[in-house]
Amino acid sequence: MVLAFFLAQGIISECLWHKLAHIQIRLKTIIATWLVIYFSAQLLNIWADAIFRKDITRQAYYLPLSYPLTAKSLIAELGLVDLAAYKQQALLAPVKTKSSLHYPLSPMTCTPNHPSKNILMLVFDTWRNDMMNTKVTPAITRLAAQGSIFPRHYSGSNNTRHGLFSLFYGLPGHYWQAVLNVQKSPVLIDVLQQQAYQIGIFSSAKLTSPEFDQTIFSAIQPLRRRSEGRTPSERDLDTTRDFSSWYQNKNKKRPYFAFLFYDAAHGLSVPKDYPKVFQPSLDYANYMALDDDYDPRALLNLYKNAVHYLDQQVAQILRLVNKDLANTIIIITGDHGREFNDNGKGYWGHNSNYSDYQTRVPLVIYWPGYRDNFFSGETSHYDIAPTLLSGALGCENAAWDYSVGQSLFDKNSQDYIIFGRSGNYAIKIGEQLNEIDRFGNFSIYDSQYRELQDAKLKTSQTLMALEDLRRFYKQ
């Protein structure tokens, strides 16, 4: 389609060139026409911004290198706009700072537990919350019956880069670039290395894009950066195989931390010889066919079959580590969710909004000796690092020093959850979702992703969330 588009453009351009070649067009005319168009567009945006017409101003977010003019300060001084609404928008606009990263806020004070527990973390790329049950994930569900399930758990974003970032760092995606600039590894990895853990990283997808080799795993050398295979499901098989070999050859006298990241659900990939449990099912996804009228059942079943395949990979892992279960913490979750036009608004996949379908993920924790000791309310990826650092690695620091989350052992409430990244983020406060763009324009939605035109921001929680976006920078 892209080639056809440019071919058509070339043909039309060639025809027009020959047809208009004899006509002399003055440079002044071209410049004048461009200026009229440009300033008309800018005046339109100034007007829309002044009267808070979000349906117009939000278009700038989708246009590359678009920085439309605004004049709200001047218009507010003239008494022509709602000053309170203007102040609210200015509050939510991202703060540009040249400050360097200050993470953690205080040096970590940790005393290794004896005996130290092994930590096994299994993550599915693109695993939504309602896809963990006895039919889709029987092996994981059996493990969950022995551990703890967190039914109201959220990632820190709707994409892999910032979802995994929130899981390991306990920080919002706003800090990604600052971390990448200095290649600062997470406190969690630092403490694991200080306590002589054997660390095994096994990812189906490449760790070089996004730059996890320069952020989350920057301190781990040598680092396994990729898996072998032509398809996501083949690379997942290679991930399981390599972990199995590493596990059987590791030093049995030292604790280990292992991270396995599977990709079949994201790639909608199932081996040809794998039985498709859910029918009718597609063999592959045709993304060009997706529109508002597309029946998602066969596509959704392909997704279920891919998750079912990953569950069987997990079953192999659990059989392998079964003899060490008494001394092994197991965490199973997803980096973000996936949408199949569930809200009827034309959204497919992920990274397009911050609804539950794209941000809510399963979480299972198997922790020997602890089953009913965890917080049972709304939780997020930001809570995982504090839970491990305080509960498994003997760190005395308050979670405030290195995370915006809380330990699931000590947590008693969830005031808000921050999703996204710098320039495009959302603050979830209860059932109210506040999405904000790079200009501070915001829209408020309910739990069904229906826009609430007359809703107001909850100021106290919003201010606390905004502080979380600033406090890990040096002032």
Establish if 441 belongs to a structural domain: no
Establish if 283 belongs to a structural domain: yes
Full-model pTM: 0.85
Task: Please give the Cα distance from 179 to 173 (Å, whole number).
Answer: 10
**52 close to 80: Cβ distance less than 8 angstroms:** no
Asked whether the predicted pLDDT for residue 29 surpasses 70, the reply is yes
Number of domains in the chain: 1
Residue type, 442: F
Establish if 299 belongs to a structural domain: yes
- The pLDDT assigned to 89 comes to 66
The model's pLDDT over 41-92, given as tens digits with 9 standing for 90+, comes to 888 888 887 776 767 777 776 676 677 888 777 777 777 766 566 656 666 7
CATH number at residue 141: 3.40.720.10
In 48-149 the beta strands, taken as DSSP E runs, fall at: 118-124, 148-149
Establish if 389 belongs to a structural domain: yes
Asked whether the predicted pLDDT for residue 97 surpasses 60, the reply is no
| For residues 342-348, average pLDDT | 93
Task: Please give the Cα distance from 332 to 328 (Å, whole number).
Answer: 13
Asked whether the predicted pLDDT for residue 108 surpasses 90, the reply is yes
- The pLDDT assigned to 98 comes to 53
Task: Please give the Cα distance from 208 to 297 (Å, whole number).
Answer: 34
Establish if 286 belongs to a structural domain: yes
The range of the structural domain enclosing residue 266 comes to 118-398
Establish if 111 belongs to a structural domain: no
Asked whether the predicted pLDDT for residue 206 surpasses 70, the reply is yes
Token code pair at residue 11 = 């043909």
Establish if 58 belongs to a structural domain: no
Establish if 437 belongs to a structural domain: no
